[in-house]
Amino acid sequence: MPSDTSSPTTYRALLRNREFAGLYVSFTLTVAASTLSGFALATLVDRRTGSPFLTAVSMYGATFATVLGAMTLMSVADGNRPRRTLVALQCVSLLGVAAQAIPGLPLTARFALLLVLGFFQSLGTGTRMGLLAEVVPATAYVTARSLMNITSGGTAVLGYALGAALLRHLTPQEVFLTATALTGAGLAVVAATVRDHSIRPPRRPGLRQTWTTNSTLLSRGGPRALLLNLWVPNGLIVGCEALFISYAPGHAGILLAAGSAGMLLGDLTVGRLLTPAARARCAFPLRLLLAAPYLLFALHPPLLLATTAVFLASAGFAATLPLQERLLAVTPAEVHGQVQGVESAGRMTWQGIGAALAGALAQYVTPATTITALAATSIALTLASRPYVRMTIAGGV
């Protein structure tokens, strides 16, 4: 990662960096394409089967395939030709999304494509994040991740809204073609703006290299504690959010909107306004904030109080920024892409696990009780792991 500490770290200054702008625009187009294709596939599956389970899997099943990428070939993210790797992965994604547009394609083939795309998208994420750590100064990394986090959330929300609007006038296959066009545009942007970084040492990526790096990463107490805090508390709180429809069927949209607004505010504040020292100090309070307001759900609060609690809690998702920053600081630069890919894949997988766990538990107790239990578990894990995380963060937490 460049060490130029004199570079400004405003969003506008970052976007003047041609390579960062290319990574950012291609990332935005990829998220938009993924959102549209996921919405179209879910609509298609629902129309053909009427199964809520298969419909849900079609929208979120790809997240479970990301862990396969993290466990097998994530070392490609740190190859010495990252631009070529990212272009190749974008090409695979383009072919996969285009294949979904084939009329009459069996559902089994569509689900197989979904898993393949999830696998290669996880490798693309690792490669993109590895490049990000090289094209921006070290002092601008958190700001860059903050901008990408904000854009990802906003693009997903707009993508679902656009998908719903398009499906009123277009068939799912035509929406798949729209997603294909967006994926192709992302590929063109990467090819035109990103260069290979020759500072990387020659490495032979593969299963052995991936397992070696992952084993080293997870065998060290500091990185392991950071990954635990990046994965599990977030996943449990996503499980809380997954129960909003069951908890308040008529007001779930309000609660989900409050969560999105809180996440936006948290990322903007932590990523743009706080100094590195301030980010380090706020990491632990933010991890507690992520869960503590959900304890109010045990009392079945009125809608206004519940909405406020969700808004405040979601600002705690910004704890990922200082934790990600520290994770890079305690891992060698030559494996930054793989480490970030593993972190992202694990976080997405735990979000799926959290939602599944919440749904299973809510079969036996009320949604309010489940939300409270998940929040309490998140707080307990945060407190128990604090001594280990504290050792990794400069200045203490």
Q: How far is CA 124 from CA 7, 13, 74, 82, in A?
A: 27, 25, 9, 10
* Cβ pair 82, 200 in contact under 8 A: yes
d(CA 346, CA 19): 27
Please answer whether residues 148 and 18 qualify as being in contact, where contact means their C-beta atoms are separated by less than 8 angstroms: no
Residue 343: name the closest of 223, 260, 239 by CA: 223
Query: DSSP characters for 141-168?
Result: HHHHHHHHHHHHHHHHHHHHHHHHHHTT
pTM beyond cutoff 0.85: no
Q: Are 332 and 113 in contact (CB under 8 A)?
A: no
Give residue 231's Cα distance to chain centre. 10
Written as one letter, the residue type at 395 is G
Report the Cα–Cα distance between both ends of the chain, in Å, rounded. Answer: 24
CA 94 – CA 34 distance, rounded (Å): 11
Q: Cα(274)–Cα(142) distance, rounded to whole angstroms?
A: 10
Kindly calculate the radius of gyration of the chain based on its CA atoms and give it in whole angstroms. Answer: 20
Within 8 A by CB and 6+ apart from 356, the residues are 239
- Enclosing H/E stretch for 10: none
Q: What is the pLDDT of residues 329-357, one digit of tens each?
A: 888 877 777 788 788 878 888 887 888 88
**Taking the alpha carbons of 195, 200, 203, 207 in that order, is the dihedral positive or negative?**
negative
Residue that has been written with the tokens 């309070």 in this structure: 285
Q: Give the residues of the chain that fall short of pLDDT 50.
A: 3-8, 394-397
Q: CA torsion, points 333, 337, 338, 341, in degrees to nearest 10? A: 140
Segments of 165-240 assigned E as strands = none
Alpha carbon distance 99, 174 (integer Å): 12
- Identify whether the C-beta of residue 298 lies closer than 8 Å to the C-beta of residue 372: yes
- Residue identified by tokens 């998908």 is 163
Instruction: Report DSSP state, residue 79.
Output: S
**Assign residue 220 a region: left if phi > 0, alpha if psi is -120 to 50, beta otherwise?**
beta
Of 54, 27, 63, the C-alpha closest to 238 is 63
Instruction: List the structure tokens of 269.
Output: 């504040």
Quote the Cα angle for 243-60-335, to 5°: 115
| Distances in whole angstroms, Cα of residue 96 to Cα of each of 90, 126, 201, 336, 345 | 10, 19, 31, 27, 19
Q: Let me know: does 154 contact 21? Beta carbons within 8 Å.
A: no
* pLDDT tens-digit series, residues 212-225: 777 777 777 778 88
